[in-house]
Structure 1
Amino acid sequence: MTTTLILAAALLTAIGLLAAPNLYFAGMAWLVLSPLLYPFARYPQSGALLTFDRVCVGALALALLMSKVRRPPRAPSVRAFAIAGVVFAGLFLARCLTTSPGTLSALQTFIDAVLLPCVVFAVCRNTAGTHRRMRAWAAGLMVCGTIVALLGITERLFAYELASRSGGSARVDHEIGGIVRVSGPYSVPEVYALVLALTLAATLFWWMSGRARGNPRRGLVDLVGPMLAAVQITGMALSLFRVAWACALLILVVGLGLRSRRRTRLAVAGVVVAFGAVILLMPLQSSDVFRERVGNTDNVAGRLATHKVGIEIWRSAPVTGVGIHQFIVAQRQTGQQQVWGVRSVESPHSSFLGTLAEQGIVGFTALIAMCACAVRILRRLGEMSRGDPVLEALRAAVLAGGSAYLLFSVELTMLPLGPSNAVLAVLLGLAAAAIENGRARTGPEKRLATEHGAVGAMPVEAVH
């Protein structure tokens, strides 16, 4: 342990000193390299304490403290979200320290699932100050998602797996003929599917924001964007999660069609995506795997039964919960529940229910408050984006990605899983940077005049 801590301190200091003068490029490098090195840059390999994400994101935090990044004025909506995030992180950490046994495992979950995404949000928020840098961050997410999708596709084609190298194990689904579920570079397939959903939203933002008239690279953007989006959608399809299939359609409709005061575009995008989905579904009707996944209702009943168990667990410790990672232990004491003759499974199968059971009403309230503040950021971004095609595309991407994360979190326990949280933090960081830098460009005088409705000939939407 001592040797590992000394090695971690040396790596953090060295990388932090290198990253401080170029924080923006260091963040982009982490984003692109993370899916490639996530299964391999681990020490020790069994029960890893040092991972690529922990070292690099920790170094980014150190570099952010040392860098001379010009920080724009804090917008009230972004400040509220940051405060809610800090409160949730503090409560999560306190519950980790009071969880026994399993304190070390709980602390590792706190670092990966809460602390590192907070750092990523701060780095992105302070370095994505222009439209060009926003698109560059989106390009990094696009490359990240493409790498993840290609790893998943090749796993299926060549029958190898990386889950065992990432701290997990290959998951065999006996309900659909013993197929090994694709997990890409991650330890579980849920993270693989959600990361692809979030990066698909970022890919659509990069594509749509690069189609401005007069852009000399518009032809290249129209070639690369759809091609990489198709790769990511293929990877999502191979995950065999029905929620991933639904999210792919939702992201396409919202990312391509949602624009201010252009409802016809949204309707057309919905019709086109639905028509394309019908065309793709027709040949899949002959697939036994597809029919089994679509028609299987037992897992839905099992999750509903698990939700009943979760409510009983929460009632046993309503204020602070039973402790981080203690759901399964408490479930064994509570007993099984059944819905439609199907017994409950050993997992909360919901981020919200898992938080309620393990952290009580205190942690659950903090999580809901953070979600409410994220909605406030989306509303503020929507107000600012009118008339700006880049910000309108960003708003659609953040809304699509946030909706996908919400759908996954309602059905699956995503909150304790780190990589997907970090990708979501990048999307929210882009939204926060757009709001704060737009606020800085208006200046205090124009903001005051806007509040009193006296901005001359400039439209209020343009000032915002």
Structure 2
Amino acid sequence: MTAHAPALRLAGSLPRRPSWLIAAAVAAVGVPPGAEAFGPGVQVTMGDVAGGALVLVAAFLLVTGRVQMPRRALPAFGPLIAALGVSTVLSTDIESSVAGFVRDLQIFVLVPLAVVLLVRERRDLAIVCSSVLGLGLVEAVYGIWQAVTGNGASMGGQNIRAVGTFGSLDVMAMSIVAGFAFLVLTAFALSAPGRGVAAVPAALAGLVVLAAALALALSRGTWIALGTAAVLTLVIFDRWTAVKVLACCGALLLVFAGVAGGGGQAVVERSKSMVSTIGHPDQSVHDRYALWAAAVRIWEDHPVAGVGVKNFPAYRDTYATIELSSGSETADPVNGYVRQPLLSPHNEYLLFLSEQGVVGFAGFATLLAMIVAGLWTRRRVRDPFWLAAVALTVFLLVNFLYADMGGPTCALTAIVLGITASRALGEVRP
């Protein structure tokens, strides 16, 4: 008995509802990372530290028998763990890939599994989803202030791009966080009519704030992913509701386009540029196409296990065409002008293929397929948490076509994967 006393005391000192620890980890993502959190090499943010704490707590609770691993977790996460190990051992630069192995294990396995273990009841899901919504609203309000006052990232020579606490060094981060929050609030709003008179106006006000920040973020990839996820969520919930909401949104967009000025005009111009990305892409889109092509060529030459995690930059210039830029340019009042190297293909699927080959891609695809299948078999259209999980999953699946994991939002994406896995694979009690 005395041998187990320290463990028992530690167990007793943990919160009775560990989901509050997840909420704290979500809040930590919004802590400004600083310039040192970007660039080559392994970068650690407050969100990563908080995610590591979640893993330790979940592991302790699992070892002491206070939580149990869901039976669907092993077939979902196991293939990815094995694939990461194989691609690391067969890497062309094992020393570099070890750090990438740990990073991918953290984002795609350890933190999501920790969330699955710590989310045990629907109240836990409510706490975690509310924390994502809270972070998104805070970032949205700050981002709107940046755009209105000229303290955002530079776009067309004006500091009008909303980037939140993440700064111009990660211009897509705020839009991703606000996108997560928008989808969570949409799921809550759809189920709000039966939950109180004040719920619907409050939800609509929050959606307006998030939508304004997302527009001012000027992130075309996020717009596409968010639009796809939101429309699908509405259609799944109720087709007639989807028609009415989309009609209202279309009317509001026409009014906005007619009266837009300043930053609003930049939103209009950015929206128009989405149409020309196929025939007449701008330089950022052209670079992305060149990176995609380079990733495909790398995979064609290393089809089975790729070149190893984190080794894409070492092979990029060998396989990319001469039209690829040497880096992307960012600027804001805090960090000034910075030229950042292009260290990834900006496509998560092609990143897996080029760095881990079909072995790694199969493990990644297995995880995503298990989550999608779990959500389908456990579908409950009127359940806001199921709707939120579906919306977040679709957002990630589409966003991975235009972006890959990087920066401080990695920690939040890992938690969001945990939310979707909890609803799809976990055993959440009422």
TM-score by length of 2: 0.76
1:91 to 80, 83, 87: 83
Structure 2 letter corresponding to 1:236 = L
* Mapped partners of 2:221, 2:10: distance in 1: 38
Deviation (angstroms), 1:366: 1.6
- Give the 3-state SS of the residue equivalent to 2:165 in structure 1: coil
1:287-302 alignment, distance < 5 Å: 287=265, 290-292=268-270, 294-295=272-273, 296-297=276-277, 298-299=281-282, 300-302=285-287
Q: 1:374 to 1:55 in 2, by over 3 A?
A: same
* Mapped partners of 2:400, 2:362: distance in 1: 16
Deviation (angstroms), 1:240: 0.9
Offset from partner CA, 1:307-327 (integer Å, 9 cap, x none): 332222212212111222322
- Give the 3-state SS of the residue equivalent to 1:315 in structure 2: helix
CA contact (8 A) 2:107 2:411 kept: no
Q: 1:430 to 1:238 in 2, by over 3 A?
A: farther
Corresponding position: 1:126 with 2:117: yes
CA contact (8 A) 1:306 1:337 kept: no
Corresponding position: 1:198 with 2:193: no
CA contact (8 A) 1:309 1:334 kept: yes
User: Which range moves more in the overlay, 316-325 or 178-187?
Assistant: 178-187
1:341-360 alignment, distance < 5 Å: 346=342, 347-360=344-357
* Mapped partners of 2:36, 2:362: distance in 1: 35
1:418 to 375, 400, 410: 410
* Mapped partners of 1:73, 1:252: distance in 2: 32
1:110-189 alignment, distance < 5 Å: 110-116=101-107, 118-160=109-151, 176-177=156-157, 179=159, 181-186=161-166, 187-189=169-171
* Mapped partners of 2:90, 2:400: distance in 1: 25
Deviation (angstroms), 1:46: 11
Tell me the equivalent position of 1:207. 189
**Structure 1 stretches lacking a partner, 5+ long:** 1-13, 162-170, 442-464
Q: 1:222 to 1:288 in 2, by over 3 A?
A: closer
* Mapped partners of 2:10, 2:157: distance in 1: 46
Tell me the equivalent position of 2:200. 222
* Mapped partners of 1:362, 1:396: distance in 2: 31
* Mapped partners of 1:114, 1:250: distance in 2: 28
Corresponding position: 1:436 with 2:391: no
- Give the 3-state SS of the residue equivalent to 1:349 in structure 2: coil
- Give the 3-state SS of the residue equivalent to 1:196 in structure 2: helix
CA contact (8 A) 1:253 1:269 kept: no
Tell me the equivalent position of 2:243. 267
Deviation (angstroms), 1:159: 4.8
- Give the 3-state SS of the residue equivalent to 2:197 in structure 1: helix
Tell me the equivalent position of 1:6. none
Offset from partner CA, 1:315-371 (integer Å, 9 cap, x none): 221211122232233121224067xxx889854131111211111121122222222
Deviation (angstroms), 1:60: 1.8
1:41-56 alignment, distance < 5 Å: 51-56=45-50
* Mapped partners of 2:165, 2:100: distance in 1: 18
Q: 1:129 to 1:195 in 2, by over 3 A?
A: same
Deviation (angstroms), 1:376: 0.4
* Mapped partners of 2:227, 2:198: distance in 1: 24
* Mapped partners of 1:240, 1:86: distance in 2: 38
Q: 1:192 to 1:333 in 2, by over 3 A?
A: same
CA contact (8 A) 1:201 1:397 kept: yes
Deviation (angstroms), 1:95: 3.6
Deviation (angstroms), 1:292: 5.0
CA contact (8 A) 1:302 1:344 kept: no
Tell me the equivalent position of 1:460. none
* Mapped partners of 1:152, 1:102: distance in 2: 40
Deviation (angstroms), 1:408: 1.5
* Mapped partners of 2:89, 2:12: distance in 1: 31
Tell me the equivalent position of 1:454. none
State percent identity of aligned pairs.
17
Tell me the equivalent position of 2:55. 61
Q: 1:157 to 1:292 in 2, by over 3 A?
A: closer
CA contact (8 A) 1:121 1:425 kept: yes
Q: 1:419 to 1:149 in 2, by over 3 A?
A: farther
Tell me the equivalent position of 1:448. none
Tell me the equivalent position of 1:253. 231
* Mapped partners of 2:303, 2:41: distance in 1: 32
Structure 2 letter corresponding to 1:189 = V
Q: 1:44 to 1:201 in 2, by over 3 A?
A: closer
CA contact (8 A) 2:115 2:415 kept: no
Structure 2 letter corresponding to 1:264 = W
Deviation (angstroms), 1:20: 5.8
Q: 1:364 to 1:66 in 2, by over 3 A?
A: closer
* Mapped partners of 2:78, 2:173: distance in 1: 24
Structure 2 letter corresponding to 1:58 = G
CA contact (8 A) 1:124 1:430 kept: yes
Deviation (angstroms), 1:428: 0.8
CA contact (8 A) 1:336 1:343 kept: no
TM-score by length of 1: 0.71
Structure 2 letter corresponding to 1:266 = A
Q: 1:357 to 1:344 in 2, by over 3 A?
A: farther
- Give the 3-state SS of the residue equivalent to 2:172 in structure 1: helix
Structure 1 letter corresponding to 2:28 = S
**Structure 2 stretches lacking a partner, 5+ long:** 1-8, 328-341
* Mapped partners of 2:13, 2:151: distance in 1: 36
Q: 1:349 to 1:37 in 2, by over 3 A?
A: closer
CA contact (8 A) 1:211 1:221 kept: yes
CA contact (8 A) 2:257 2:268 kept: no
CA contact (8 A) 1:44 1:50 kept: no
Q: 1:110 to 1:294 in 2, by over 3 A?
A: farther
Alignment RMSD (CA, Å)? 3.9
